Amino acid sequence: MGYICGMDTKKAKILLVDDEEALREGLGVYLELEGYEVDTAASAEEALTFDLPGYDLLLLDIMMGGMSGVELAARLKENPATASLPIIFLTARDSDEDVLKGLTLGADDYIAKPYSIKIVIARIEAVLRRFRLNSPGILQRGVVCDRQSLVCRVDGVEVRLARKEFEILALMLENPSRVFSREELLEKIWPEKVVVVDRAVDVHITRLRGKIAPYGRHIVTRSGYGYGWQD
């Protein structure tokens, strides 16, 4: 079983992609009032300049000048780093064929314009909850630590960790914001009664930060106390 690093749907990070400025601004404001962190892009091409694996949900218009929303979604699904990114299409095209095409592509929901803001928010929350429950190994910020398969992934790419490195990372992700002293880590990660110096913990932490870059900064040091995972 994997572990989720405390993702609250109301703290999710959303990218809204639509070429209608009024819609971007209006919907963006409402979503922020609901507690979401929102970025906007005026085109699919602009969206590709963002750090897409860092988002929890993509709201995507289909009909845009240049690259269409369908083309962008297809590109994201082909990339392992973004293949699991939930997508909700927002579009004026609401024929059965359009809906089927979007869902077949892998969209998680499809909302036709014009729409009720309350409906959009309800759909967003439903998709985020479903995604969290169906993907228990996926952590917010793109870090995966799966206890069952013993695999660590960063933005969808498998990262090779030594056994002790994996155990340290999993422990921290299971207990976000908790600071573990070196003594606690030695006791929990090295229970074999072997002689291990405190410096071994520091070395493993340094290696971990490098291997899970750019998310190594979430492993924080509390001087005089120890280490922990901080969102």
The CA distance from 226 to 64, in Å, is: 50
The CA distance from 225 to 46, in Å, is: 43
Match domain 160-229 to its CATH number in 1.10.10.10, 3.40.50.2300, 3.50.30.30, 1.10.1060.10: 1.10.10.10
The CA distance from 219 to 154, in Å, is: 14
Rounded average pLDDT over 193-202: 68
In CATH, the architecture of 9-134 is: 3-Layer(aba) Sandwich (3.40)
Rounded average pLDDT over 198-219: 88
pTM of the model: 0.55
Of 101 and 20, the one with more pLDDT: 20
- Cβ neighbours of residue 209 closer than 8 Å, sequence gap 6 or more: 216, 217, 219
Q: Where are the domains of the chain?
A: 9-134, 160-229
Neighbour-count burial for 213-229, b at 16+ CB within 10 Å, e otherwise: eebbebbeeeeeebbbb
Q: What is the pLDDT of residues 7-16, one digit of tens each?
A: 444 568 899 9
The CA distance from 63 to 80, in Å, is: 25
